[in-house]
Structures are given as C-alpha cells and as structure tokens.
Amino acid sequence: MCLLAIQYRLVTEAPILVAANRDERYERPTQAPTIQPGKPRVLCGTDLHASGTWLGINQAGLFVAVANRPKTLPTFISRSRGLLCRDLLRASSARQAADTAVEELMTGKYNGANFVVADLESGWAIHGGDEVDVVPLREGLNIISSGDLNDPRDERLQLAQRLLTLQTLDSPVKFLASASKVFSKTANIDGKLGAVMRGAESGTVSSTLVSLGPKPRDAIFQYAPSAPDRSRYEDFSPLLRDILSRGLRESKTRAKA
C-alpha cells in the first residue's frame, strides 16, 4: 500500500516533483539507490529478494514507480512487478513506458499493480488490477496508492492531498519541504491513517523525494532508508545529475550525427 504524490507541470523549472513512501515487509532486503550498469543509465534502489525496483529515473529523465494493487483473480504464475518497473526504465519516453506496461499487464502474469510513468512530455498512471486502464496525469497534484489515481475513497490519499494543497507549492524547495513533512506524518491517537504505515510485520520502509526539470544540474533525489519519521533523507542528487548529464550529452551527439 505505497503512497506516491506527483506534482506535474505546475512548476516550470521542475515539472516533475515527487514524494513517495514505500510500504513493504520489514524483513525484505533492500539496497539503497545506486546507478545501475548497462544502458540507459538508471538510478534506482533494488529489491534484493526479486532483483526489481519500486522507483527509479533513467538518463533520459524518465521517472517510473510502482505500487501494489489488490486483484480479485489470483495470478498463479507471476513475474515480479519490480522487474517490470526495471523494464520500463529502459524506455526512451513515458509514452513508450506506458504502452509497454499495458502490454505486459494484459498478459496476466503479474499480481495487481499501479505504475506511474512521467517525463517532460507526458505522464501516465497505469492501473493494473482486474482490468488494465491508463489515465493521464493532470496538471498539478496527482496522488496514488493501492486504488485509482486521485481516488476520493482512499483516506490516506485524501489526507496527503489536503495537506499538500494547504499552500501553493510553486517551487521545488517549497514542494520538497512540504512533502517531507506530510510524508513523515504518522497515524494520530484517534487511529486516522497517516502517510507512514506501521504494522507488526510490514509498513513504511523507505521514502523518496524527487525534483526533475530540463536542467540536469538542478535535479534532486533524496532517500530515507526507513520510515521518514525515524530517519533523515540522504542526498543522492549527484548520482542523478550525473546520469542526466550523460543522457543530455548522448542526445546532443546523436542529434549532430
């Protein structure tokens, strides 16, 4: 039941602003974000159990993330949704990634999942439950968890939406500062859900903040290695800027050729 907010095309210098909490079993082994080998270069964390990932960015500036989604009909032979997330990070655009996600999810070999893919040209949520559906990201704030994009029935989603719209987040600094507080919020004494989940065997195990725009030097990638109310965000921005700069150089070289 991960939670992801993406503010899309509202801030000129950072059209993609993301806050994401990953919910998972506590004992599932994880590697912090690193630059992956091969091309295109990708910055992502790794689920060491299945070798997939839950969130990443490639050198073309493509953002991809996945969250679990309930599915009525069980999948008896399933492929890791994290591996599909890694596959999508090989795409050259969000449109291509969305098409690949739909094609793969239609095979029926995955458990339920929601994917979010976005670049500077387009952004999409792909609902992969009993039916597969593609929904364009709207300009402004979009939030998704285990249901549909911007689902009004999801209390946790609505909490995040309410808190993230208390003020105009018209710069990367404002968005990331606000999101870091909202996504660190725990359940209150009345039992109302917070952005951080905490159960006996599973809960929020990490959190990520991202800012992406046309200039690689301005990109931001911050990662908390456990629930963000208990650990500080660490800065992985130099790694992201490195792969984005490499991608820009390669793109210019191809254009000249």
Q: Residue 64: what pLDDT?
A: 98
75 has pLDDT over 80:
no
Sheet holding 113-118, edge to edge: 30-36, 42-47, 55-58, 63-68, 113-118, 123-128, 132-136
Mean pLDDT of 10-24: 97
Per-residue pLDDT tens digits for 27-45: 999 999 999 999 999 999 9
Query: Is there a contact between 91 and 62 (Cβ–Cβ < 8 Å)?
Result: yes
Q: What angle do CA 182, 184, 187 make, to 5 degrees?
A: 90
Please state, rounded to an integer, the average pLDDT across all residues of the chain: 95
Query: Is there a contact between 20 and 208 (Cβ–Cβ < 8 Å)?
Result: yes
61 has pLDDT over 80:
yes
Backbone φ and ψ for 96, nearest 5 degrees, come out as: -65, -40
Q: Residue 121: what pLDDT?
A: 97
1 has pLDDT over 80:
no
189 has pLDDT over 70:
no
Q: Residue 168: what pLDDT?
A: 93
pLDDT band at 251; cut points 50, 70, 90 = confident
pLDDT band at 191; cut points 50, 70, 90 = low
Q: Residue 193: what pLDDT?
A: 85
pLDDT band at 76; cut points 50, 70, 90 = confident
Three-class SS state of 253: helix
Mean pLDDT of 15-30: 97
Q: CA 217 to CA 245: how far, in whole Å?
A: 8
pLDDT band at 190; cut points 50, 70, 90 = low
Per-residue pLDDT tens digits for 123-136: 999 999 999 999 99
Of 191 and 84, more confident: 84
Give me the domains of the chain, ranges plus CATH numbers: 3-256 (3.60.60.10)
Mean pLDDT of 223-234: 97
| Share of the chain residues as helix, strand and coil, in percent rounded to the nearest 5 | 25, 30, 45
